[in-house]
Amino acid sequence: MAAEQRQIVVFDSNESELISTKKCIEYIWAGPILCETKLEATQPLLVNSKSDDIFVFCYESFIGVDIASWLLGTGFKGRLILMRRTHDELPAFLPCELLKVVQKPAKLHDFSDVISNTAATQSKESSFTKELIETVLDRRDAFYLEFQPQYRAQTEKLWGFECFARFQHLGEKLETRKVLSAIAEFNLMETFSRVFFARLGELLPAFSGVHLSINFSLYDVENFDLLSVVKKNFDNTSINPEKIVFEFSYLAYFSSKTRAINLLTTLKSEGFQLAIEDGTALVGKLEKLPLMIDEVKLPISQLTGENMFQHHREISNLAHRMDVRIVMTKVERYQDVKMAASVAPNSIVQGYYLAPPVSIEHVFELLQANHSG
């Protein structure tokens, strides 16, 4: 018998804070999240609950209502996460297990230790079977795409998106790197690529006016014929290839294998842009990069710490003299954006301070807002 998927119910009479809480939960949870702003509408959602279900509720929304009695009346069998403001007193009794108390407003990582069953997920990831991976690849709700917005550092205007493959099983998000390793181990890379590009092809028209980065840094480009897959899926599209940025690891650009060299040179000749991403491995090697590269992706941490000023000079020189676009990733603070703009004025920034990866529905909202702005 298939395991039943956990359900999460969120109740908060403050609609804007409810939306914010839901986004924080979506960061780690791909299963159903039912949201309500009215107490009477929340009750039916809890009646047929399971022991693994979670009810996230705002304490201040229970005005004049005894929480314990109300929960007993619903027959809720799951567990609780209570959201409160600093001055709120905790209820003296709750009839269900209290997993955590979260201070309002919710922050991105507030729920990661209780909603994501880390131990179970790690166990699941360590025992991947070919049948499970095939099932995940076959289901739209288990294998899906998300897109992280990228912005110009100087103006903070939308510039483009980076596409990510995401995987989940019974609501638990799985680590992409581990899933791709299992896909390669079971010789399913061709199946994965076919499904990935088919899903992406359905959405490509939405990105015609912005840049779209596709990260291939986890691909083994020496042993997998990625070129034929890319050409097959892009030859029949009307999208401008100059708007597509393919990202590869540092090792791919310095490979001596014919397949890797042919892949990069052909993509470049077809008009696609090429980016290199390898974190700290790039520092100190920036002036030795191949001329075919259009973009360098670096974590913002490379602008701070030891050898900071040397790194500033190298990055600034790369951006100005070699006409290479700089993309700073893992931007977590406002100061990071300002630092990127000062070192490379035309740089692009992305990170959770600006926006987490979002679904295609949120992409449409961002594009519409960018167009109207």
What is the tally of structural domains in the chain? Answer: 2
Digit-coded pLDDT (tens) for 15-66: 989 988 988 888 778 778 899 999 999 999 998 888 889 999 998 888 888 9
**Cα angle: 7, vertex 8, 13; to 5 degrees:** 145
249 with 367, same domain: the answer is yes
200 with 90, same domain: the answer is no
- Give the rounded distance of the alpha carbon of 16 from its chain centre: 22
Which residues pair with residue 146 across a beta bridge? Answer: 164
Which residues pair with residue 252 across a beta bridge? Answer: none
d(CA 270, CA 116): 43
Domain boundary among 79, 103, 127: 103
Q: Is residue 111 part of a domain?
A: no
- Choose among 102, 70, 99: nearest CA to 86: 102
* Mean pLDDT (10-residue bins), the chain, 373 residues: 71 91 82 90 90 90 88 91 88 88 85 63 64 90 92 92 90 85 90 89 87 86 81 77 89 81 89 80 63 85 69 71 81 87 88 86 88 66
283 with 332, same domain: the answer is yes
174 with 79, same domain: the answer is no
141 with 188, same domain: the answer is yes
pLDDT score recorded for residue 322: 64
Domain that holds residue 34: 8-103
| DSSP code of residue 166 | E
Q: Is residue 59 part of a domain?
A: yes
Bond prior to 105 in cis (omega within 30° of 0): yes
123 with 217, same domain: the answer is yes
The answer to whether 244 and 272 have CB atoms below 8 angstroms apart is: yes
90 with 19, same domain: the answer is yes
Q: Is residue 108 part of a domain?
A: no
pLDDT score recorded for residue 247: 92
208 with 99, same domain: the answer is no
245 with 363, same domain: the answer is yes
206 with 254, same domain: the answer is yes
71 with 215, same domain: the answer is no
pLDDT score recorded for residue 333: 84
